[in-house]
Amino acid sequence: MNWVKENNFITLFLGLCVVFMMTLIISNTLSTEQQSEIKIEHGDSLWELANKFATDEPKEEWINKVMVMNNLQSSHIRVGEVLVIPEIQENFHFDHGTEIASDSN
């Protein structure tokens, strides 16, 4: 205990290192969502776009997200309009460099 009192700076530094490492461990997977723009063509509807672009989330949720991103008051869209849509989420992992060796001839 005396060592801790005498070495405040080192104790603080080690404590911050532990906090930093725990943050890295907890946030092992970072998720980012990017945006794309699409131009509305004849026959397009938000439901059709949801069928095409909303892969992992419910269609209604994707449509609501698009409506919020584009400040739409209703689900009606017009030909020639440009809409911002969410892209598929990509997950980044810290272990991308892991490879498994094999014995192939």
pLDDT at 85 over 70: yes
Write down the pLDDT at residue 63: 92
Q: What angle do CA 70, 71, 72 make, to 5 degrees?
A: 90
Tokens found for residue 53:
């672009």
Write down the pLDDT at residue 21: 83
CB 67 within 8 A of CB 81: no
**Plot region of 43 (φ>0 → left; ψ -120 to 50 → alpha; else → beta):** left
What's the predicted TM-score (pTM) here?
0.52
**Plot region of 104 (φ>0 → left; ψ -120 to 50 → alpha; else → beta):** beta
Render pLDDT for 27-76 as a digit per residue (tens, 0 to 9): 654 545 567 889 999 999 999 999 998 878 899 999 999 999 999 999 89
Q: How confident is the model at residue 101 (pLDDT cuts 50, 70, 90)?
A: low
